[in-house]
Structure 1
Amino acid sequence: MKLDILAIGAHPDDVELGCGATLAKEVSKGKKVGIIDLTRGELGTRGTAETRDEEAFNAAKILGVQSRFNMRFSDGFFLNDKKHQLEIIKMIRFYQPEIVICNAIADRHIDHPKGSDLVSDACFLSGLKKIETIYGESKEPQQPWRPKAVYHYIQWKDIEPDVVVDVSGFMDKKMESVLAYKTQFYDPNSKEPETPISSKNFTDSVEYRARNLGRLVGVEHAEGYTVERFVAIDSFFDIK
């Protein structure tokens, strides 16, 4: 399945929180978008791996993405090593995305920068023809594929973005997909233990970060990203 954008997160809900509005906007424009979760979030304090599976499925439907796949790596303990890189390379070569969006380059949760580095390294290695991979039932070696660009969304830490995407009109869809993770986020009636992301302040922060980034560039809402190479434009008039 050829995708325009492949969004990857260490845990189910990372993608929704980091770039959900961007994905919803691109889907509305006819782009083919997929999501990969590296783990099932099985170490999360609230909920279970099974509830996360269901919530991730519901969130994907809300965003309208073409596919969602879970790598089932070990939550908290996966590594950026050859074994895990090869598994990600197989997925990149299978989906052949033009753009990959992945975890923040630095963050509170150790899986986020690990996932960021893992995906970034795999995107580069995926373009090397001497790395041979076979995926699924096919006995034929996969063809090399390297995305045109890798972008990193922003998570817990307020990292200054290199580029922002105007997502005005798509924040409601983003928040609906985020709140599909009913066991994870603010619920005044929940009997689950409190966590850093279960407070109302956290849920509110998702909206006000997007509103503040939008304010800084003159739109209603925006999502920010860091880049791995310079962003090139054809003309200054392309900049909003």
Structure 2
Amino acid sequence: MKVDILAIGVHPDDIELSCAGTLLHHADLGYSFGLVDLTRGELGTRGTPEIRAREAYAAAKKLGAKFRENLDLPDGFLTADEDSVRKLITAIRYCQPDIVLANALSDRHPDHGRSARLVADACYYSGLQKIETTDLQGGKQQHWRPRAVYHYIQDRNRQPDFVVDITAYHARKMEAIACYASQFNDQLPSAYAGEPKTPISGKDFMDFLHAKARTFGREAGYDLAEGFNVVRYPGVKDLFDLD
């Protein structure tokens, strides 16, 4: 099931919070995308892995993803060991994305930076012919290396290397985020009202997301944008393609 873009997050809701607008924008341009969560977020203060799985699939449906998969790696103890890298290589070769969107290069949550490194490593190793993986039917997979890996910016305010205009998609992004009622319930029905408050559970966090989008958009002349970092700087063939 080939897709043009594969968005990867270490926790369910990372993708929605940080690059859902970009995915929606590119879907309208005719590109397809799939989603992969590395863990089930089992160490999260609120909710359960089962609840978060239901929320994640509801959000994926709202975004229009071709698929959403979970690699069931350990939350909080993520490492780039051989087993983890091979699982991710298998997923990359399965859908053969041209572009991969990954967690922030460094962030408040240690798993985000570790995930960024794991994803970058797996994207490179996925292109090596001598690393063999098999598909669900036991057949040998073909090697595949994405053209680019871009790291979305998350909690910490990092200087973006480029931004994507999400002005027309911000409302739909927030609808996808709202699928995670266990995490962001202060403005939603009170099914999880008895759970502890966290840095992301209140209205102030929703206000923060909107303010960050306005900040990213301002210098590029957009109302709202999402920011990304790169490790390998991209080339430009036509200066007039830049806003």
Equivalences for residues 73-88 of structure 1 within 5 A: 73-88=73-88
User: How far off its partner does 1:75 sit?
Assistant: 1.0
Report the RMSD for the aligned CA atoms in angstroms. 1.0
Matched, 1:91 2:94: no
Paired residue secondary structure (1:202): helix
Instruction: Give the whole-Å Cα distance in 2 for the aligned partners of 1:193 and 1:106.
Output: 26
Which residue identity lines up with residue 209 of structure 1 in the other structure? K
Which residue identity lines up with residue 185 of structure 1 in the other structure? F
Structure-1 residue corresponding to 2:168: 169
Instruction: Give the whole-Å Cα distance in 1 for the aligned partners of 2:105 and 2:164.
Output: 18
Structure-2 residue corresponding to 1:191: 194
Deviations 1:117-159 (A, max 9, x none): 0010000000010111112113x31111000000000111111
User: How far off its partner does 1:54 sit?
Assistant: 0.7
Structure-1 residue corresponding to 2:63: 63
Deviations 1:193-236 (A, max 9, x none): 01111121111111111111111111111110001212211222
User: How far off its partner does 1:186 sit?
Assistant: 4.2
User: How far off its partner does 1:30 sit?
Assistant: 2.1
Contact kept, 8 Å, 1:186 with 1:203, in 2: the verdict is no
Structure-1 residue corresponding to 2:221: 218
Contact kept, 8 Å, 1:27 with 1:65, in 2: the verdict is no
User: How far off its partner does 1:25 sit?
Assistant: 1.1
Matched, 1:12 2:12: yes
Structure-1 residue corresponding to 2:130: 130
Structure-2 residue corresponding to 1:141: 140
Instruction: Give the whole-Å Cα distance in 2 for the aligned partners of 1:185 and 1:80.
Output: 30
Deviations 1:33-68 (A, max 9, x none): 000000111111111111101100110011111110
Instruction: Give the whole-Å Cα distance in 1 for the aligned partners of 2:62 and 2:214.
Output: 21
Structure-2 residue corresponding to 1:229: 232
Contact kept, 8 Å, 1:16 with 1:174, in 2: the verdict is yes
Paired residue secondary structure (2:38): strand
Contact kept, 8 Å, 1:153 with 1:226, in 2: the verdict is yes
Which residue identity lines up with residue 89 of structure 1 in the other structure? I
Paired residue secondary structure (2:219): helix
User: How far off its partner does 1:29 sit?
Assistant: 2.1
Paired residue secondary structure (2:209): helix
Unpaired segments ≥5 residues, structure 2: none
Structure-2 residue corresponding to 1:121: 121
Unpaired segments ≥5 residues, structure 1: none
Which residue identity lines up with residue 232 of structure 1 in the other structure? G
Paired residue secondary structure (1:72): strand
TM-score, normalising length: structure 1? 0.97
Instruction: Give the whole-Å Cα distance in 1 for the aligned partners of 2:51 and 2:186.
Output: 16
User: How far off its partner does 1:78 sit?
Assistant: 2.3
Structure-2 residue corresponding to 1:179: 178
Structure-1 residue corresponding to 2:3: 3
Instruction: Give the whole-Å Cα distance in 1 for the aligned partners of 2:142 and 2:83.
Output: 19
Corresponding residue pairs, total: 239
Structure 1 residue ranges, 4+ long, deviating more than 3 angstroms after superposition: none
Instruction: Give the whole-Å Cα distance in 1 for the aligned partners of 2:134 and 2:7.
Output: 22
Which region of structure 1 is more displaced relative to structure 2, 29-38 or 144-153? 29-38
Structure-2 residue corresponding to 1:160: 159
